[in-house]
Amino acid sequence: MMRRTIILLCTILICFSSASAQQADSIGDALLRLEKQYYVSHSAEEKTQLSVQKMYTYIQYHLENEEECLVECKRINLAYLNAEDKQRYLWNAAVLYFLHNDFASSVDAIRAYQLMTKDTSSACQLLNVLAVNSSPYDSLAEKDLSPELKELYNCLATERIDLAKQNTKYNWCSYIIPGSGMMLKGYITKGSTALVLNAGSGLLVYSLFKHALYFNSFGYALLTISKFYVGNNVYTRRLIPKKKYELQKIKLSICHAQLNEFLIQHPIEFK
């Protein structure tokens, strides 16, 4: 009994020694204090300033990937910021939106920042290139880029177009003859398997229907359509032709090497 008590006490001491209470000046306490001030405030200007403080608190503690940081960013009303604070906010908002995959908003913020500051630095151009390349709604005038960034933008744009291309001809073939799209893309074994499975299922459905087993025929048809036919078409769309895939790997490695070099030379950081 004594031995068990000692072991239990040692375990409790170890747990307590590894536990730590939240400090009064911790990130959680600071954010909670600012949030309380925000909700008791009746001034739109004060609310904006408090949201700015909260946003920069998240960034200061490297919590910019938190969803709450983006929420604070969206709360901020530019009308209540002076010119210097507005410029800083627009840059940080562009970086923050990009990190959260809101590329259209990132493009809007970086362009507003460029309009205000006339910033032509490589880091600013690079952020613009990355945001525009990832946004499905925007394009970029190459005349505003340096020759090196123009080359990178074209490389990334070509990569995006190639990856988004659906190889329509091959995909339509898979709708007409299941498995044919895979075979045309160079996946002979997968295409042959899909063709055999779909053909066998079709013959079974026909056989059941011919023997007046209509309910069984209908039920199995639904099963095979969802499992084999639709699955075959979805999988075919995802496949990239083998020859094209090898070319894409080379192109991707070139683009990413250029991008990594730019990011090392001109890092994109919060201000």
Q: Are residues 180 and 232 in the same domain?
A: yes
Residue 144 has pLDDT above 80, yes or no: no
pLDDT value of residue 89: 96
- 260 and 133 fall within a common domain: yes
Spatial distance between the Cα atoms of 244 and 8, rounded to a whole number of angstroms: 64
Per-residue confidence (pLDDT) for residue 211, from 0 to 100: 79
At 22 the pLDDT is 41
Please give the angle made by the CA atoms of 118, 122 and 123, to the nearest 5 degrees. Answer: 90
- C-alpha to C-alpha distances, 255 to 98, 226, 260, 268, nearest whole angstrom: 19, 39, 9, 18
* Choice between 166 and 87, residue whose per-residue pLDDT is larger: 87
Domain membership of residue 252 (yes or no) is yes
From residue 60, alpha-carbon distances to 63, 92, 270 in Å are 8, 12, 9
Residues of the domain holding 183: 168-239
pLDDT digits (tens, 9 = 90+) for 98-134: 999 999 999 999 999 999 999 989 899 999 998 998 8
192 assigned to some structural domain: yes
Residue 27 lies in a domain: no
Question: Distance (Å, rounded) from C-alpha 181 to C-alpha 172?
Answer: 7
Rank 19-23, 77-81, 153-157 by mean pLDDT and report only the highest.
77-81
User: Is 140 a residue whose pLDDT tops 90?
Assistant: no
User: CB under 8 Å to 73, separation ≥6 — which residues?
Assistant: 51, 55, 92, 93, 96, 97
Mean pLDDT of 238-243: 63
User: In whole numbers, what is the pLDDT of the chain averaged over residues?
Assistant: 80
Number of helices and strands in the chain (H, E): 14, 0
Q: Are residues 129 and 252 in the same domain?
A: yes
18 vs 150: which has the higher pLDDT: 150
- Per-residue model confidence as pLDDT tens digits over 22-70: 444 588 888 889 999 999 999 999 999 999 999 999 999 999 999 999 9
Q: Can you give the pLDDT at residue 37? A: 92
pLDDT of residue 24: 41
pLDDT score recorded for residue 242: 59
Give the number of domains in the chain: 3
| 192-220 pLDDT tens trace | 888 887 788 778 778 877 877 777 777 77
Looking at residue 108, its pLDDT comes to: 94
Residue 48: in which H helix or E strand, if any?
helix 44-60
What tokens appear for 148 in the block? 């090196």
* Tokens 């079709």 -> residue: 202
Q: Please report whether residue 210 resides in a domain.
A: yes
- Does one domain contain both 141 and 249? yes
Distance CA 105, CA 40 (A): 30
Residue carrying the six token digits 């070509």? 158
State mean pLDDT over 159-181: 69
Residue 2 lies in a domain: no
Lowest mean pLDDT among 141-145, 191-195, 267-271: 141-145
